């Protein structure tokens, strides 16, 4: 695979993040778009990110056009799975936070505190006589 123009690489990564389609469709769509962007950049080596966006559209609109080619049921399934994954990650992080707070309060309340004491014994008063 050839090295892509840096602006094209950023553009394609932006679109990849926005594509909510099954993996097979994602690979096919990104490959086709990558070829088109690569061809454009070869023909226009001085192309900037703005030029690429002007020709192919904003990443959001380009991703929407690409997703329009896919089955809407599959797209909604992928979005639903993404949303579930996000909620699962948030739930796990929230549970970890609660567990840490409970552990901190428990350890602060029931922490064993050691106090160093010195026991001294007074000698009995023998009236100045030591035996």
What does the pLDDT look like over 66-117, one tens digit per residue?
999 888 999 999 999 999 999 999 999 999 999 999 999 888 887 777 777 7
CA dist 3 and 48 (Å) reads 16
Do 5 and 63 belong together in one domain? yes
Domain count, the chain: 2
Would residue 128 count as lying in a domain?
no
Would residue 119 count as lying in a domain?
no
CA dist 131 and 128 (Å) reads 10
What pLDDT, in 10s, does the model give residues 36-75? 998 998 888 888 888 888 999 999 999 999 999 888 999 9
Do 50 and 26 belong together in one domain? yes
Do 107 and 48 belong together in one domain? no
Do 25 and 57 belong together in one domain? yes
Do 75 and 63 belong together in one domain? no
> What predicted TM-score, i.e. pTM, was given to this entire model?
0.63
User: 8: domain range?
Assistant: 1-70
Do 56 and 89 belong together in one domain? no
């Amino acid at each position: 695979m050839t090295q892509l123009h840096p602006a094209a690489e950023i553009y394609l990564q932006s679109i990849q993040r926005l594509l909510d389609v099954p993996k097979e469709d994602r690979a096919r769509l990104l490959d086709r778009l990558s070829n088109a962007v690569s061809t454009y950049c070869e023909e226009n080596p001085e192309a900037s990110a703005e030029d690429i966006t002007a020709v192919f559209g904003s990443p959001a609109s380009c991703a929407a056009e690409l997703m329009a080619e896919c089955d809407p049921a599959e797209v909604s399934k992928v979005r639903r799975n993404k949303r579930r994954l996000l909620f699962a990650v948030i739930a796990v992080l929230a549970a970890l936070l609660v567990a840490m707070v409970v552990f901190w309060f428990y350890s602060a309340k029931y922490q064993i505190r050691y106090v160093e004491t010195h026991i001294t014994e007074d000698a009995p008063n023998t009236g100045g006589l030591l035996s």
